[in-house]
Amino acid sequence: MKKSSISSKNRNSNGNTAEEAAENKIEYLALIAAILAFIAAGIGLYIAMKDLYLPNVTEVIT
């Protein structure tokens, strides 16, 4: 019988190693960060378009 290279003590309830669990968590957090970045970009574009198309608005820089 072949001995496993990873002992059962290093596995969590899903059968993944601690390193695999940490990698999955990092990928999940990266996905959340990307979604939040797209939302922020969308809000920025909305504000820019709204500012461009407001009629009769003059900005004065002093």
Assess contact for 18 and 10: CB atoms under 8 A: yes
Residue with tokens 């999955």: 24
pTM here is 0.58
pLDDT tens by residue, 1-19 = 455 555 555 555 666 688 8
> Cα–Cα distance between 49 and 52 in angstroms, integer?
5
CA distances (Å), origin 9, targets 4, 22, 31, 42? 12, 16, 29, 46
Residue 17 near residue 6, CB atoms below 8 Å = yes
| pLDDT tens-digit readout, 23-42 | 889 999 999 999 999 999 99
